[in-house]
C-alpha cells in the first residue's frame, strides 16, 4: 500500500506542485442531497466543516449527488457520493481536491528527494512514468471513436521520442480476446497484430495518433489518442452482424503484403462454415485441404500432406494440446467441434521458432473463450451428428467457461444397409471444456480440456476404438508493457484398442497408447520499435506403449505379447528476433536448438555396421535401466524469413528453415488408420530432418480486396521412413528391420488469388508440386526401384481448388467448392502368372503409375433466419449436395483374385451426389 | 459411409510388361513322393492365357555337398523326379538353366518336414461350413504352415432321365452305364492358406480354417470329400507366401496395405537384377482325406443351380392352336439328327396306361445331364 501511494503521488506532484501531509479530522456531518450540483454540494460541505474544496467547475459540472447520511466523517460522505463514478477526491490538511478521471494522492514517495534533484520537468515525467506500472491502475477503456484518449502521464509540451502503447483488444459482447486484430497507425504507417490473447504492444512517437483497428468478423474501428508516455489502452470491438457486403477473410487486409511470414494462412470459423462438406457440418480440416500446397491421399481421410510431407509431419495443436488423430468416423469428420473453434492458422513455410518437432507444418487451432458477459449457446442437428455448446460467465467480466459436445447417431444408417453391412456399428463423440480467468490486469489463466472417443465395427467381430485426451493449463503474465510470458503445462494422450471376442480360443485385445507431458515457457519481448524478441523453452516427455496383444478370456490360446514401452524427452530452447531494418525491409531470424534423449528402460539391438538391419546381422543387444539416457540427438533448427516492400501493395518475401522430427508414424496403408503405430527415434531409427527454401511475391489490388500471391519452395528430406516390401508394423519388437531410411526432395509453386470482400468472395488456388524419394543405399537392405527416385504416395503434381461464396441477400447465400488434382501414384500390376492354384499379378516399380485424376464439386445453400438482433434464438439452415457431378473418384485401385481370376477394382468413396441438410440454432 | 462407397471394375491403361519373368513353383519332396517343379514365364495382363511354360530347361536339385539330382521335363513346363530320399541333415537348392543360357539358383534351404495332419472336421457357424484341421509338432520346430487341397463332391441333375435319343429315335436309357443323374465335381484350392503357431504358447494348431462355404452349398447337398496337403514353412518362406497372399487376395479394404514387391529365394545368376518369382522349400508333405455325408451336417435346403429348370411336354403329334397339320415335337427338340436345334433330353414317357407313347417330358441338358458340369465316373478314391 505504501508503495502504491508513493507511486501515485507523482500526479499530485506534477499537477499541483505542492507537498502536503495527510491529516485526520473527525468532524461528523449529516447531509441530504437530492440531485445536487457540485456548487451546492461543495458549499454545503464547506459550511458544515472547516474544509476548503478545490475543483474545476467545468469538469465537475455533470456531477449530480443524491445522498442522505447521518453523522458520518467527510471521507465517508465523499466516498459514497463518488462511488462508481469517474470522480475522485483527495484530502490534505484542510483542503479537498475534487478531480475527474484521475485521483490525487497526497503522500510523498520515498526517494522523492533524489528525484527532486532533477529539476527538469520532462525528465521527471520520464522517470515517473516508469513508476506508474502499478498493479491496480485502471487501464483506459477506449470505447468511442470520436473521443481523444490521453495516454500516459500528461506532459506539456509533449516530449519528443517514442513510447510504448500496449493493451488488449476484446469483443465487446463476449469479452473474449480478439486474436490477430491489426492495429494500424496511419500517421507512422506501422502496425501490429494482437497475439493469441488479444494483446498488443507497439512503439509510437509521442503525440496525437489515429489507430485503425481491424479484425476478422469485427467491425472496423478507430481510436484517437494523445500519446504522452508509455501506457495502456483496451479496445473493444463490435461483431459484424451478418454483414451484407463485407466478409473478411484475412485479419488484416494488408497483412498479406506486410507480414514477414511466408506460407501462413489464417482462417476464421466464418470462412470455414461457408465451405460445403459431406454431411453439412463445418469441417476444419476439409478447409485446410482447399489451401494451396495442401493435399490429401484421398477422401475419407483427414490426414493431409503439406508441401510434400507425410501426414504425420503436421503438428496439430488444439489450444496448445497435440492431437494425434484429428479425425472421427474413418476420417469423415474432423475431431474439432466447429461451434467452438475460433480460428485456425496453418504454417507451411515460416514456422515460428516456438514450434518444432514436425517436418512439414503446424496447424494451430484456437477455440473461443467463453462469453464473459452473458450465457449463450448453440445447437446443430445434421443427418449423422448433433452438437451442442454453452458458454457464459462464472464471475462476470473475469471468469468464463465454454463447453461443447458432439455425438453421432449413425447406427440407424448402418442398420438400414444391406446384409453385408448390417452388423457394423460406429459411434463417436467429443467434448471440450475450457475455462478462462482474469486474475488481474497482468495475469490470466486458461484451462482447456478435450476428450474424443471413437468406436466402430465393420461387419466383423473386430471392434476398433480410439481416443484423444488432453488437458492444458496456460498462464499468461505481463511483466510490463514490453515483456510478457506464457507458461503452459499439459498432458496429451492418444490411445487405441482393437479387440475380437468371437472365437474364445483366439479372442484377443490389442492396445496402443501414447502419452506426452509438455511444459513450455514462451516469452515475447518488445525491445524497441525495431526489434521484437521471442524466446523460450519447451520440453516434452513421451511415453509410448507400442502395443500389447493379450488373450481375452480364460480359454484364449493367444500368447500375450507386449512390446516394451518407450520413453524419450524432447527439449528445445529458442530465440528469435523480428528486426525492422527499414520501413520496407523486415527480417525475422531465429534459432531453435533441439535436444532429444531416448530413455530407458529398454533393450536395444546393436547391428553390424554397413549391413542391413535384419535378425542375422544382430551383434548383441544392450539393456538400459529406467530413465537412463540411451542416446542423444541434438541439432539446431534455423528459421529465417525476410520481407521487402516494393510498392504500396507489393512485396517479396524469402525464407529458409530447417526442422527435425523425432516421432514417426508408421503406416503401410494409404490413409492414416487408427491402427498405425508411432515410433520414437532410437539408436537404430534416425530422426527425420528437412530444410526448405521458399520465396514469394505478394500483391494486393482493388483496395486490398483482392490478394494475389505466388510462392515457390524447394525442400530436402533426410531419413524419411519408407517400408520394406511386406513390412509388419504392428506388434513388431524390431521395427527397424522393416523400415528403410530414404532421402527425398520436394518442390513446387503455389498460386493463390483471393477475393476478400463483396457479394462474391472466396479463393482460387493452383499448386504444382512434386515429392520424390530415393533409397540407394545397398547396405540398408532392398533397393527400391533400383535406387532411383520414385514419387511418394502423396505426390500429386497438379492441384486446383476453388472455394466461393455468393451472398444474394442478408439471408441467402450459396457456396461452391471445386477441387481437381492429379491422381495419386500407385504401384500397378504389369504381368500375370499362376501360382498357388490361382492367377496372380506381378507389380510394377513402386509408385510407377497413377490412379485417375480427382475431381469434385460441391454446392450448398445457406439460409439464415431473420436478422433481428434481439430475439431469443437465431437459427439457420444449410442445404446442399456434396459431389454434385457424382464422379466416382478413385480412392484406391487394387487387383484381387476371385474364383481364380485376377480382376482390377476401383474403390470409390462418396461415389454419388450426396444431399445433406443441417439445422443450427444459437441462443 | 458405406452406402456411398463403391467398388467398380477398373481396367488400367494397357501396360506392356518390360519383359517376362521366370516363375518357379513347387516343393522339393525329400521322401518317396514325387517332386514336381513348374516353370513358367509371366505373361502380359492382356493375354488370355495366364501361363507360358518354360520348356527344355535343365533342372536339378543340388545339395551343399555337390550331389545333384536331375529332373525330367515334360511338354507342359513341369519337371519331375521321384524317390529323392534326401538326407535330412543337408541343405538343398534348385538349379535351373534355361535354353537361352540363363542360370538360376534358389537359396540353400534345410529340410523341414511337416508334422502329420491330426484331424480334419467340419464345423458350422452362421450358416457357414468351415473345414478345419488340427496339427501339432511335438518337436516345436515347425511354426508356420501352408495348405492346399482338392475338394470333390457329388452333384445330382435336376431331373432323372429314363430315356435317351440316339439322334434319330428315343430309346430307354441304360441306367447303369449311362447314368447322367449323379456326377462328381472337383475343385482345387485357389487361395493361399497359411497359419502359424508362433504366437501361441504351444506348437498346437487348433481350429485352423482351411476353407469355408455356405451351409446350403451344393458341395454338401449329397456327399463331400476333401484331400488336404499340409506343408511346413520356414519363417522366411512364410513371409514370401503371406506377401504373395497380401498382394493378390488381401487388398481392397480401406485399411489394407499397398501392394509390395515379392521377393522369393530364387535368383538369376546371369543377371542379378532380374526379378524371379517363387520360393523353393524342401520337405515332406502331410496328406489326409475325409468324407462328409449331408446327414452329418445340420439340415439345410440346398441352393442348387436349377431354379430356371422347366419340364416341357413334347408330343409326336402336336396341334398348335388352330392348326390343321400336327408337328413332331420329339424330332424338333429331342432327336438331334432329325433337325432338332435347341436340344432337350427326354425324362419320362407320356402315355395312357397300356397305350402307345405319345411323347416325352424333357428339359435342357443342364437340368438333366450332370456331365455338363462334372464327371459321372466315380473317382478311384471315392468310398
Domain ranges of chain B: 12-113+233-283, 312-363
Return d(Cα A852, Cα A870) in angstroms, integer.
52
Least confident range of A119-123, A442-446, B376-380: A119-123
> Taking CA atoms, what residue in A is nearest to B40?
A833
Phi, psi of A313, rounded to the nearest 5 degrees: -90, 15
Return d(Cα A342, Cα A171) in angstroms, integer.
13
> Taking CA atoms, what residue in A is nearest to B278?
A835
| A251 has pLDDT over 70 | no
Whether residues B6 and A896 touch (CB distance < 8 A) is answered with no
> Taking CA atoms, what residue in A is nearest to B5?
A909
CATH 3.40.225.10 matches A2-117:
no
pLDDT tens digits, residue range A549-559? 888 888 887 77
Whether residues B207 and A840 touch (CB distance < 8 A) is answered with no
pLDDT of amino acid A154? 74
Among A51-65, A779-793, B125-139, the range of highest mean pLDDT: B125-139
pLDDT of amino acid A110? 52
| A246 has pLDDT over 60 | no
Least confident range of A249-258, A508-517, A519-528: A249-258
Q: Which of the two residues, A423 and A49, has the higher pLDDT score? A: A49
pLDDT of amino acid A382? 78
pLDDT of amino acid A279? 67
DSSP class of A27: -
Whether residues B9 and A906 touch (CB distance < 8 A) is answered with yes
Whether residues B188 and A837 touch (CB distance < 8 A) is answered with yes
Whether residues A905 and B7 touch (CB distance < 8 A) is answered with yes
Q: What percent of chain A has pLDDT over 90?
A: 24
| A141 has pLDDT over 60 | yes
Whether residues B257 and A897 touch (CB distance < 8 A) is answered with no
Return d(Cα A730, Cα A193) in angstroms, integer.
46
pLDDT of amino acid A11? 40
pLDDT of amino acid A1? 42
> Taking CA atoms, what residue in A is nearest to B250?
A896
Minimal Cα–Cα distance from B170 to chain A, Å?
39
Least confident range of A264-268, A477-481, A602-606, B311-315: A264-268
| Assigned C-alpha cell, B144 | 508356420
Cis peptide before A601 (omega within 30 of 0): yes
pLDDT of amino acid A750? 92
Q: What percent of chain B has pLDDT over 70?
A: 90
pLDDT of amino acid B115? 93
Query: What are the chain A neighbours of B199 within 8 Å (beta carbons)?
Result: 549, 558-559, 561
pLDDT of amino acid A277? 67
Average pLDDT (B332-342) is 83
DSSP class of A115: H
Are the CB atoms for A212 and A193 separated by under 8 Å? no
Among A186-195, A288-297, A439-448, the range of highest mean pLDDT: A439-448
Please choose, from the candidates A670, A645, A643, A642, the residue with its C-alpha nearest in 3D space to the C-alpha of residue A656: A642
| Assigned C-alpha cell, A613 | 538391419
Which one of A826, A831, A838, A890 makes the best mutation probe of the B interface by having the most chain B beta carbons within 10 Å? A831
Tell me what the pLDDT averaged over chain A comes to: 80
Average pLDDT (B14-24) is 71
Whether residues B260 and A726 touch (CB distance < 8 A) is answered with yes
Return d(Cα B15, Cα A831) in angstroms, integer.
8
Q: pLDDT class for A485, splitting at 50, 70, 90?
A: very high
Query: What are the chain B neighbours of A421 within 8 Å (beta carbons)?
Result: 2-3
Q: Which CATH class is domain A133-240?
A: mainly beta
Return d(Cα A401, Cα A576) in angstroms, integer.
34
Query: What are the chain B neighbours of A724 within 8 Å (beta carbons)?
Result: 260
Strand order in the sheet with B128-136: B117-125, B128-136, B204-214
- What pTM did the predictor assign? 0.67
Helix (H) or strand (E) holding A12: helix A2-16
Q: Which CATH class is domain A264-922?
A: mainly beta
Helix (H) or strand (E) holding B281: strand B281-282
Q: What percent of chain A has pLDDT over 70?
A: 82
pLDDT of amino acid A116? 46
| A883 has pLDDT over 60 | yes
Return d(Cα A735, Cα A668) in angstroms, integer.
13
Are the CB atoms for A837 and A825 separated by under 8 Å? no
| B348 has pLDDT over 90 | yes
What is the residue-wise DSSP string for B188-256? E--S-EEEE-TTBSSSEEEEEEEEEEETT-GGGSSEEEEEEEEEEE-HHHHHHHHHHHHHHTS--STTP
Please choose, from the candidates A605, A720, A739, A626, the residue with its C-alpha nearest in 3D space to the C-alpha of residue A311: A720
pLDDT of amino acid A27? 73
pLDDT of amino acid A69? 80
Q: pLDDT class for A300, splitting at 50, 70, 90?
A: low
DSSP E strand boundaries for A527-682: 531-551, 561-562, 566-580, 585-599, 602-607, 618-624, 629-647, 650-661, 663-666, 677-680
Q: Which of the two residues, A872 and A568, has the higher pLDDT score? A: A568
| A324 has pLDDT over 50 | yes
Among A96-105, A564-573, B194-203, the range of highest mean pLDDT: A564-573
Average pLDDT (B336-351) is 87
Tell me what the pLDDT averaged over chain B comes to: 87
Which one of B16, B254, B279 makes the best mutation probe of the A interface by having the most chain A beta carbons within 10 Å? B254
Burial class (CB in 10 A: 0-12, 13-18, 19+), A37: middle
Q: pLDDT class for A343, splitting at 50, 70, 90?
A: confident
Q: Count how many pairs of residues, chain A against chain B, have C-beta atoms within 8 Å.
A: 208
Are the CB atoms for A671 and A301 separated by under 8 Å? yes
Least confident range of A237-246, A517-526, B87-96: A237-246
User: Residues 6 or more apart from A154 whose CB is under 8 A from it?
Assistant: A14, A228
pLDDT tens digits, residue range A713-740? 999 999 988 877 666 777 788 888 888 8
Domain ranges of chain A: 2-117, 133-240, 264-922
Q: In this structure, how many other beta carbons lie within 10 angstroms of the beta carbon of residue B63?
A: 18
Least confident range of A233-237, A354-358, A896-900, B357-361: A896-900
Q: Which of the two residues, A100 and A489, has the higher pLDDT score? A: A489
Which one of A464, A725, A728, A737 makes the best mutation probe of the B interface by having the most chain B beta carbons within 10 Å? A725
Tell me: ipTM over 0.85. Answer: no
Helix (H) or strand (E) holding B156: strand B144-156
Average pLDDT (A16-38) is 62
Minimal Cα–Cα distance from A320 to chain B, Å?
30
| A885 has pLDDT over 60 | yes
Average pLDDT (A268-291) is 77
Minimal Cα–Cα distance from B266 to chain A, Å?
15
Helix axis angle, A38-48 to A74-82, nearest 10° = 170
Amino acid at each position: 500500500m505504501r508503495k502504491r501511494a508513493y507511486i501515485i503521488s507523482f500526479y499530485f506532484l506534477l499537477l499541483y506542485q505542492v507537498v502536503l501531509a495527510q491529516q485526520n479530522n473527525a468532524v461528523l456531518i449529516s447531509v441530504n442531497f437530492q440531485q445536487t450540483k457540485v456548487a451546492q454540494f461543495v458549499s454545503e460541505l464547506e459550511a458544515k466543516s472547516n474544509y476548503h474544496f478545490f475543483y474545476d467547475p467545468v469538469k465537475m459540472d455533470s456531477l449530480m449527488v443524491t445522498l442522505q447520511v447521518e453523522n458520518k466523517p467527510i471521507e465517508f460522505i465523499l466516498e459514497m457520493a463518488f462511488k462508481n463514478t469517474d470522480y475522485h477526491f483527495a484530502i490534505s490538511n484542510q483542503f479537498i481536491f475534487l478531480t475527474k478521471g484521475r485521483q490525487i494522492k497526497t503522500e510523498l514517495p520515498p526517494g522523492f528527494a533524489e528525484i527532486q534533484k532533477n529539476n527538469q520537468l520532462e525528465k521527471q515525467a520520464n522517470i515517473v512514468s516508469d513508476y506508474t506500472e502499478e498493479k491496480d491502475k485502471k487501464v483506459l477503456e477506449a470505447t468511442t471513436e470520436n473521443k481523444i484518449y490521453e495516454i500516459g502521464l500528461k506532459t506539456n509540451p509533449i516530449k519528443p521520442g517514442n513510447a510504448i502503447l500496449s493493451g488488449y483488444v476484446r469483443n465487446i459482447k463476449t469479452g473474449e480476446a480478439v486474436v490477430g486484430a491489426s492495429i494500424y497507425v496511419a500517421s507512422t504507417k506501422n502496425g501490429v497484430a494482437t497475439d493469441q490473447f488479444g494483446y498488443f504492444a507497439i512503439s509510437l512517437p509521442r503525440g496525437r495518433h489515429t489507430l485503425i483497428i481491424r479484425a476478422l468478423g469485427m467491425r472496423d474501428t478507430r481510436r484517437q489518442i494523445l500519446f504522452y508516455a508509455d501506457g495502456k489502452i483496451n479496445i473493444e470491438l463490435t461483431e459484424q452482424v451478418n454483414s451484407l457486403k463485407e466478409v473478411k477473410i484475412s485479419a488484416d487486409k494488408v497483412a498479406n503484403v506486410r507480414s514477414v511470414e511466408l506460407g501462413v494462412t489464417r482462417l476464421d470459423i466464418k470462412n470455414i462454415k461457408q465451405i460445403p462438406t459431406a454431411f453439412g457440418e463445418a469441417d476444419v480440416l476439409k478447409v485446410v485441404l482447399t489451401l494451396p500446397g495442401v493435399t490429401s491421399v484421398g477422401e475419407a481421410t483427414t490426414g493431409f500432406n503439406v508441401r510434400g510431407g507425410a501426414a504425420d509431419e503436421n503438428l496439430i495443436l488444439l489450444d496448445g494440446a497435440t492431437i494425434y488423430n484429428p479425425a472421427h468416423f474413418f476420417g469423415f469428420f474432423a475431431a474439432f467441434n466447429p461451434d467452438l473453434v475460433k480460428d485456425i492458422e496453418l504454417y507451411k513455410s515460416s514456422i515460428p521458432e516456438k514450434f518444432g518437432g514436425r517436418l512439414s507444418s503446424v496447424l494451430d487451432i484456437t477455440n473461443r473463450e467463453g462469453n464473459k458477459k452473458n450465457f449463450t449457446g448453440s445447437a446443430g442437428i445434421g443427418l449423422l451428428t448433433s452438437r451442442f455448446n454453452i458458454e457464459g460467465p462464472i464471475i462476470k467480466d473475469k471468469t468464463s467457461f465454454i463447453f461443447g459436445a458432439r455425438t453421432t447417431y449413425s447406427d440407424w444408417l448402418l442398420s438400414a444397409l444391406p446384409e453385408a453391412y448390417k452388423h457394423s456399428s460406429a459411434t463417436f463423440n467429443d467434448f471440450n471444456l475450457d475455462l478462462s480467468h482474469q486474475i488481474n490486469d497482468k495475469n490470466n489463466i486458461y484451462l482447456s480440456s478435450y476428450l474424443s472417443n471413437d468406436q466402430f465395427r465393420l461387419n466383423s467381430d473386430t471392434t476398433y476404438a480410439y481416443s484423444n485426451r488432453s488437458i492444458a493449463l496456460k498462464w499468461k503474465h505481463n511483466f510490463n508493457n514490453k515483456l510478457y510470458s506464457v507458461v503452459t503445462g499439459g498432458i496429451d494422450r492418444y490411445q487405441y484398442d482393437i479387440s475380437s471376442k468371437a472365437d474364445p480360443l483366439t479372442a484377443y485385445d490389442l492396445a496402443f497408447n501414447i502419452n506426452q507431458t509438455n511444459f513450455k515457457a514462451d516469452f515475447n519481448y518488445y525491445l524497441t520499435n525495431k526489434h521484437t524478441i521471442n524466446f523460450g523453452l519447451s520440453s516434452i516427455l513421451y511415453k509410448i506403449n507400442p502395443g500389447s496383444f493379450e488373450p481375452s478370456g480364460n480359454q484364449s490360446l493367444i500368447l500375450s505379447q507386449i512390446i516394451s514401452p518407450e520413453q524419450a524427452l524432447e527439449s528445445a530452447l529458442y530465440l528469435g528476433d523480428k528486426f525492422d531494418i527499414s520501413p520496407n525491409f523486415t527480417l525475422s531470424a531465429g534459432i531453435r536448438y533441439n535436444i532429444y534423449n531416448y530413455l530407458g528402460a529398454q533393450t536395444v539391438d546393436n547391428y553390424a555396421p554397413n549391413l542391413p538391419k535384419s535378425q542375422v546381422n544382430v551383434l548383441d543387444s544392450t539393456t538400459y535401466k529406467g530413465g537412463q539416457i540411451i542416446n542423444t540427438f541434438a541439432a539446431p533448427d534455423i528459421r529465417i524469413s525476410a520481407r521487402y516492400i516494393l510498392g504500396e501493395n507489393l512485396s517479396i518475401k524469402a525464407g529458409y528453415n530447417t526442422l527435425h522430427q523425432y516421432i514417426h508414424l508408421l503406416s503401410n496403408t494409404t490413409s492414416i488408420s487408427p491402427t498405425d503405430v508411432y515410433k520414437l527415434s532410437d539408436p537404430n531409427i534416425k530422426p527425420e530432418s528437412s530444410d526448405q527454401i521458399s520465396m514469394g511475391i505478394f500483391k494486393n489490388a482493388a483496395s486490398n480486396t483482392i490478394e494475389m500471391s505466388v510462392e515457390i519452395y524447394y525442400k530436402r528430406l533426410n531419413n524419411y521412413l519408407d517400408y520394406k516390401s511386406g513390412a509388419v508394423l504392428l506388434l513388431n519388437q524390431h521395427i527397424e528391420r522393416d523400415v528403410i531410411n530414404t532421402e527425398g526432395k520436394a518442390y513446387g509453386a503455389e498460386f493463390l488469388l483471393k477475393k476478400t470482400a463483396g457479394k462474391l468472395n472466396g479463393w482460387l488456388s493452383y499448386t504444382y508440386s512434386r515429392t520424390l524419394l530415393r533409397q540407394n543405399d545397398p547396405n540398408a537392405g532392398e533397393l527400391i526401384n533400383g535406387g532411383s527416385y520414385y514419387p511418394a504416395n502423396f505426390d500429386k503434381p497438379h492441384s486446383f481448388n476453388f472455394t466461393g461464396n455468393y451472398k444474394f441477400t442478408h439471408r441467402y447465400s450459396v457456396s461452391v467448392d471445386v477441387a481437381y488434382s492429379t491422381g495419386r501414384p500407385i504401384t500397378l500390376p504389369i504381368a500375370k502368372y499362376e501360382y498357388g492354384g490361382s492367377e496372380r499379378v506381378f507389380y510394377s516399380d513402386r509408385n510407377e503409375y497413377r490412379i485417375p485424376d480427382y475431381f469434385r464439386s460441391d454446392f450448398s445453400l445457406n439460409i439464415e433466419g431473420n436478422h433481428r438482433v434481439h430475439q431469443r434464438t437465431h437459427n439457420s439452415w444449410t442445404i446442399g449436395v456434396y459431389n454434385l457431378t457424382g464422379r466416382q473418384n478413385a480412392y484406391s485401385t487394387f487387383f484381387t483374385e476371385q474364383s481364380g481370376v485376377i480382376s482390377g477394382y476401383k474403390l470409390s468413396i462418396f461415389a454419388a451426389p450426396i444431399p445433406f441438410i443441417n439445422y443450427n440454432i444459437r441462443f | 459411409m458405406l452406402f456411398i462407397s463403391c467398388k467398380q471394375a477398373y481396367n488400367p491403361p494397357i501396360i506392356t510388361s518390360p519383359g517376362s519373368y521366370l516363375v518357379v513353383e513347387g516343393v522339393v519332396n525329400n521322401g518317396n513322393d514325387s517332386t514336381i517343379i513348374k516353370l513358367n514365364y509371366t505373361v502380359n495382363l492382356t493375354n488370355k492365357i495366364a501361363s507360358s511354360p518354360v520348356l527344355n530347361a535343365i533342372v536339378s536339385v543340388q545339395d551343399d555337398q555337390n550331389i545333384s539330382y536331375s529332373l525330367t521335363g515334360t511338354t507342359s513346363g513341369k519337371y519331375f523326379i521321384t524317390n529323392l530320399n534326401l538326407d535330412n541333415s543337408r541343405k538343398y537348392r534348385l538349379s535351373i538353366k534355361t535354353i537361352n543360357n540363363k542360370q538360376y539358383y534358389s537359396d540353400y534351404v534345410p529340410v523341414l518336414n511337416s508334422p502329420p495332419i491330426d484331424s480334419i472336421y467340419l464345423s458350422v457357424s452362421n450358416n457357414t461350413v468351415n473345414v478345419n484341421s488340427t496339427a501339432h509338432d511335438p518337436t516345436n520346430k515347425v511354426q508356420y504352415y501352408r495348405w492346399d487341397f482338392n475338394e470333390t463332391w457329388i452333384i445330382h441333375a435336376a431331373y432323372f432321365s429314363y430315356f435317351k435319343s440316339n439322334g434319330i429315335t428315343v430309346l430307354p436309357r441304360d441306367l447303369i452305364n449311362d447314368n447322367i443323374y449323379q456326377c462328381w465335381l472337383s475343385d482345387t484350392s485357389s487361395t493361399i492358406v497359411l497359419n502359424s503357431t508362433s504366437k501361441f504358447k504351444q506348437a498346437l494348431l487348433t481350429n485352423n480354417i482351411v476353407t469355408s462355404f455356405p451351409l446350403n452349398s451344393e458341395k454338401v447337398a449329397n456327399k463331400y470329400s476333401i484331400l488336404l496337403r499340409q506343408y511346413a514353412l520356414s519363417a522366411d518362406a512364410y513371409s514370401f507366401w503371406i506377401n504373395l497372399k497380401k498382394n493378390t487376395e488381401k487388398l481392397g479394404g480401406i485399411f489394407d496395405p499397398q501392394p509390395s514387391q515379392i521377393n522369393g529365394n530364387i535368383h538369376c545368376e546371369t543377371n542379378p537384377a532380374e526379378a524371379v518369382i517363387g520360393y523353393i522349400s524342401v520337405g515332406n508333405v502331410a496328406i489326409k482325406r475325409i468324407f462328409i455325408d449331408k446327414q452329418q451336417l445340420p439340415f439345410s435346403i440346398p441352393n442348387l443351380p436349377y431354379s430356371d429348370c422347366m419340364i416341357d411336354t413334347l408330343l409326336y403329334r402336336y396341334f398348335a392352336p388352330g392348326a390343321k397339320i400336327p408337328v413332331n415335337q420329339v424330332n424338333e427338340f429331342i432327336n438331334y439328327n432329325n433337325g432338332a436345334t435347341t436340344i432337350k433330353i427326354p425324362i419320362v414317357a407320356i402315355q395312357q396306361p397300356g397305350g402307345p407313347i405319345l411323347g416325352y417330358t424333357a428339359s435342357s441338358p443342364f437340368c438333366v445331364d450332370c456331365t455338363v458340369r462334372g464327371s459321372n465316373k466315380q473317382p478311384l478314391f471315392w468310398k
